[in-house]
Chains A and B, each alone.
Chain A
Amino acid sequence: MPRTTLAISVLILSVAAAASAQTPTAPGAAETTLRAWNEAYASVIQMAEDFPEEKYDYKPTPEVRSFAEQLLHVTGTPYFFISVCTGQKSGEGPFAREKYKTKAEVVAALKKAAEAGAAFIREQGDAGLAKPAKLPWESETRNALWVWNVGARHASEHYGQLVVYYRLNGLVPPASR
C-alpha cells in the first residue's frame, strides 16, 4: 500500500474513532433507573436526617402512617422489590417502629435500604432488568425494569406526602428553603 494511502486511511479511522467517542450514548435501563432511584431516596434521606426527632411519631390523621412509619415503609420496599425479582425472601424486616426506636436507627436503616436497592440495580445491569418480574398486585407479568421504576416513583410519592407533614407542623421542607 502506498504510504500516502496508508496515512489517509489511518487519518480517516482516527477521525471516525474520535467522532464515535464524542457521540453521547443513550443511557441504558440500569443507568436511568439507578439515577431515578438515587434521586428519590436522596430526597427522603435528607428529610429523615432533617426532621425533628420529637415529631417523628406525628401523623396527620389516626389511620395513616406517622412520619417515622412512612420512612420505615420506604425502608422496607427495596427488600420487597429484590424478593419480587429474585423470588427469594430477603430476610430483612419487618421495619416496625417498635424495633427502630430512635431517629438515628431509622436513618441508618433507610440509608442501608437505599444502598441495597442501588446495589441490586447495578448488579442486574440492563440484561438483568429485562428479566420477567411480577408485582403481586398487578395482573400482568412485566419486568424488573418496571418493578424498580415503580420503586423509585413510590419513594417520590412518599416524599410528597412528607412534604405535607412538614407543612402541617409549621416546618419548611429542606428543598423549599
Chain B
Amino acid sequence: MKTIARTASLAVLLAVAAGLAAAQQQQAPQTPEERFRRSWSNTMAKLVEMAEDFPEDKYTYKPHPDSRSFGEELMHVASVNTRLARQAKGEPVDNAALQKEFAYVSKADTVAKLKQSVEDVKAVVEGADCLRFIGALEHAGEEYGKLTVHYRVNGLVPPRSRRQPEN
C-alpha cells in the first residue's frame, strides 16, 4: 500500500511540475505578435507611471525652447495612441482638432488622457496585424527615454531607476 501511495504522490508531483513548466512556457511570448503586445503594454505602463509620478510644477519643463515640455511629450504619446485607435475604427482624424484636443492643460488631464488613450488603442494592439505598429512602439520607447533625461535634469530619479528593472 505504501508503494502505491508513494507512486501516486510521485505521479502527482510530476504532473504538477509538468503543469508548472507548461505554464512557464506559456508565459514566454512565442510569436512576434505576443512579443509586440507585451512590449507595448510594458512601455505604456512605464509612461503612465512617469505621468503619475512627475511633480506637476515641473510638467512644463522643457530642455530647450524648441522641445516639447514633459507634459507635452506625454500628450504627444496620447495623441499618437488616439490617432491609431480612431484610424483603426475608420474614423476621420483631423490633425488640427487632434492637436487641440491633446494640448497640455494639467497633470490630471494628462494622466487621464494618457490612460484613456492606452485603453482606446488596445483593440489595435490586440489585432492580428499589430506588427504594423512596431514603429509606434519604438517611438513610445524613444519618448520614455527622453523623459528619463527630463527627470535627471530636474534633479529627480526616474521611477524605474529607483528599483531593480523588470521589463
Contacts and interface: CB of A to CB of B under 8 A. Distances in A.
Contact of A33 (B24, B32, B147, B155): B32
A124 to B, nearest CB: 14
Interface string A120-160: 00000000001010010111111101100110110011111
Interface stretch (B8-16, B98-106, B109-117, B135-143): B135-143
Contact of B35 (A27, A40, A145, A168): A145
Interface residues of B, number: 40
Contacts of B24: 140-141
Given A29-B31, A168-B63, A156 B164 contact: no
A35 interface: yes
Interface in B124-158: 131, 134-135, 137-139, 141-150, 152-153, 155
B95 interface: no
A60 B152 contact: yes
Nearest to A162: B145
Contact of B141 (A137, A142, A160): A160
B146 to A, nearest CB: 4
A163 B28 contact: no
A39 B134 CA distance: 10
User: Which secondary structure characterizes the binding site on chain B?
Assistant: helix
B3 interface: no
Interface residues of A, number: 44
B134 A36 contact: yes
A164 B142 contact: no
Interface string A13-51: 000000000000011110011011001100000000000
B29 A170 contact: no
Nearest to A172: B66
Interface in A62-119: 63-64
**A-B CB proximity, top 8 nearest:** A160-B145, A160-B142, A156-B141, A157-B145, A164-B149, A167-B64, A142-B28, A160-B146
30 contacts: A27-B32, A32-B32, A35-B134, A63-B152, A132-B28, A137-B167, A138-B166, A138-B167, A141-B28, A142-B29, A143-B29, A143-B30, A146-B28, A146-B35, A149-B29, A153-B138, A153-B141, A153-B167, A157-B141, A159-B145, A160-B142, A161-B149, A162-B145, A163-B142, A164-B149, A167-B63, A167-B66, A167-B67, A168-B63, A170-B64
